[in-house]
Chains A and B, each alone.
Chain A
Amino acid sequence: MQVTYIQAINQAMHEEMARDENVLLLGEDVGVLGGAFKATEGLHAKFGSERVVDTPIAESLIVGAGVGLAIQGMRPILEMQFIDFISCGFDQIVNMAATLRYRHGGQASCPIVVRGPCGAGVHGGIYHSQNPEAWFFHVPGLKVVAPATAYDAKGLLKSAIRDDDPVIYLEHKFLYRRIKEDIPDTEYLVPLGKAALRKEGRDLSVITYGSPVHAVMKAAKDMAGEIDIEVIDLRTILPLDWKTIRASVAKTGKVLIVHEARRTGGIGGEVAARIAEELFESLDGPIVRVASKDTHNAFATSLEDYILPNQEKITEAIRKLAAY
């Protein structure tokens, strides 16, 4: 069936809540309104106020209550209305949820999913445009996923809900209604921790995730006669699929990392460092990153254009690296 990215997310929650009565949903405006973006539409009507809870505007409460529910055996989905506000729930995620297994010697776990719209490109300004994966990449005990397609959005959310550990699920708001795909009518899951090889190539590997996957694929298609590009969509950022990354780098010898999150401290740095460490003798050129400039997201279109990665910047970087 044809669905948009946000419809795929909606379907995943409908299916998992129908499948397992322990799955709950908490968030601001998720119930009666169906969500600021309509991601949770229809869930309140179907499952009622006991399972779909409109919370006060307090992310620390949302996540904290979620951790408590998880300890009691529930599987709460915790929506951050804009992922930017996850910073208000940071302590509950990093110090409570991520450490639960460690603190209980493996006897208890925290099966929460913290999901919300991330990303820029919609004139959202500072508070409605961030990509926070780097903050959580650094925390053992968490998993972080960032789907780029409707297929992965549904499959990864279902897997995240079924996962026994806390998962940060980053849905890119730019993709919400801009991609429509055919997905299977029957049930399917996408495993966490496994990247997708979107395109095979010989000359150069592009490692990316989230919204930029589409610009990268377009660039690869446009340059098909010129440079043979291999595209890896990480899908899961923590844990990274090093098996796929290693195989690709060994084959091509040239790596470009693209993420919409800022360059400094972005996860691209870790990927680059580890490739340089473990695959040094496979490299035929420097490891290059294309990322947002180290500044806060802007409201004005011209500034957004300047700050964010785009197809032209990606193409330029690929050409330079391929020519090295």
Chain B
Amino acid sequence: MRVDVVMPQLGESVVEGVVAKWLVKAGDAVSKDQSLVEISTDKVDAEIPSPVAGVVVEIVAKEGETVPIHAVIARIETEKEAAKPAEAPPPKAPWDEETEGFPGAMARRTEPPLPSPPRVEPSKAPPEPSPAEGPKVRISPVVARMAAEHGIDLSGIPGTGIDGRVTKKDVEDFLARRGAPATPSPVEKAPPAAAPPTPRPAEPEEDQVIPFTPIRKRIAEHMVMSKRTSPHVHTFAEVDLHKVAAIRAKAKETGVSMTYLPFVVWASVKALREYPYLNASVAGESTVLKKAIHMGIAVETDRGLIVPVIRDADRKSIGELSKAVEDFSARAKARRILPDDLAGGTFTVTNPGPKGNLFGTPIINQPQAGILRMGQVVKRAVVVDAGGEDAIVVRPMMYLCLGYDHRIVDGVTANEFLFRVREILEAGVFSL
């Protein structure tokens, strides 16, 4: 078999050598270790021994030629079939002057990937992180500083870092774009007065790709997780709110404005005390009946849905509940809801408002067990009992929908709870 004779590395920093004098020629028989050639480097001169016994078949490098280390300078045909190469250094690329002094010969293999950089937790992390909030928000020091300096709300900026982190560049780009609308709208709003009578939305020229903001990402992940976790069942009740309406009207006369929401919350809270399985969580294979009632109130903001929590809602009067709801709405508009406001809820009431349609089937706010959705208040003709006889009257009616987790709440419990909420609302007796 054919064996290559290569230019050896004759010193630690030697990269090439000069073929000074061949001591054999093509056709010569040589024994193992017989000197084949004299090599000269700037450090040493040496004779190179033959790696095998055999016949020199080819002289590759000429006398006087400068050859890089490990390059072939001659070839020997040996009788041995044994697969024992004398030196056989791995073939390496000769030193390339074009690369910036870093020879390809020293190319190294990769090592296992480096561990990921450590995660930076936001400085305002809530003390009991609620699983309902999804992945943590990463805010790096420079991003925090720039947000403070420019008064930016980071949740409104799409993030291009890992897990959607808002990076320094994202903030810089946002600041550069500021002035232009943050979320481009494909729809032209209806122009005022001197405009065509039927304004139509302008057709977009192409598909609009809007990267998820951190808040949208959280919502998306939570909704999927909730549906996957809890087998949702929904039950509906129709509530006659005429007595509540009367209380509202009376309060309005004294200048106090209240929506139906605090009333529904108050009724829910009372019912939850009677049906604790709706104020619960699943922990592994156990039901945890929560001691306190912390009522989540779903609030829609221009950035998405958030659910601030009224703590110990069972200890609050209608008036206090109303104030708390107003405070949340105002702060949500001003983007001043804190992480602490969002933590620890045990039940949620959601009120879509005057355009909320009749009823809907809400998704449970994990890790809770139930959620109550209000509908539009519609004046209907209903049949009531008037002194033992049926009569038709006009009443403000609302559908309530209870969504519940059928792992721990069965139909009977859920229905009785909802029935009780309705009962309390229709009874019209509250601690104001």
Contacts and interface: CB of A to CB of B under 8 A. Distances in A.
Interface string B163-194: 00101110000000000000000000000000
Contacts of B143: 284
B142 A316 contact: no
Contacts of B24: none
Contacts of B106: 121, 174
Interface in B363-397: none
A284 B111 contact: no
Given A38-B43, A323-B161, A178 B103 contact: yes
B108 A324 contact: no
Interface residues of A, number: 46
A316 B100 contact: no
B161 A253 contact: no
Given A178-B95, A284-B143, A305-B108, A124 B120 contact: no
B102 A218 contact: yes
Contact of A313 (B110, B140, B165, B169): B110
Contacts of B101: 175, 178-181, 214
B283 interface: no
Contacts, number: 100
A255 to B, nearest CB: 11
A192 B116 CA distance: 36
A40 B362 CA distance: 83
Contacts of A32: none
A217 B140 CA distance: 28
Contacts of B14: 177
Nearest to B99: A218
B153 interface: no
A122 interface: yes
Interface of B is mostly: loop
B117 interface: yes
Contact of B142 (A123, A282, A311): A282
Interface string A204-241: 00000000001101100100000000000000000000
Contacts of B100: 214, 217-218, 221
Given A217-B100, A282-B142, A324-B162, A122 B108 contact: no
B325 to A, nearest CB: 38
Interface of A: 6, 37-38, 121-124, 128, 173-181, 203, 214-215, 217-218, 221, 253, 280-286, 288, 290, 305-306, 308, 310-313, 316-317, 320-321, 323-324
